[in-house]
Amino acid sequence: MKDGVEKLMQGYRRYRNGDYEETRPLIESLVSEGQHPEVAVVACSDSRVDPAILFQADPGDLFMVRNVANLVPPMEEEGTYHGTSAALEFAVLGLGVKHILVLGHAHCGGIKLMMEPDPYDSSFKFVPAWVSMLSAAHRRVLATMSHAGPEARTRACEQNAVLVSLENLTTFPWVRERIQLGDLQLHGWYVDIAAPQLSAYDWEAGKFMPIS
Whether 46 is catalytic: yes
Cα dist from 13 to 19, 78, 189, whole Å = 10, 44, 33
Which residues, 6 or more positions from 36, have their beta carbon under 8 angstroms from its beta carbon?
Answer: 60, 95
Name the catalytic one among 105, 138, 155, 178: 105
CA 170 – CA 44 distance, rounded (Å): 20
Whether 140 is catalytic: no
Give φ, ψ of 195 to 5 degrees: -75, -55
* Residue 144: closest CA among 134, 157, 132, 131: 157
CA 103 – CA 101 distance, rounded (Å): 6
| Helix 135-144 and helix 150-169, axial crossing angle in degrees, nearest 10 | 140
Name the catalytic one among 66, 108, 138, 157: 108
Name the catalytic one among 13, 16, 24, 48: 48
The residues assigned a catalytic role are 44, 46, 48, 105, 108
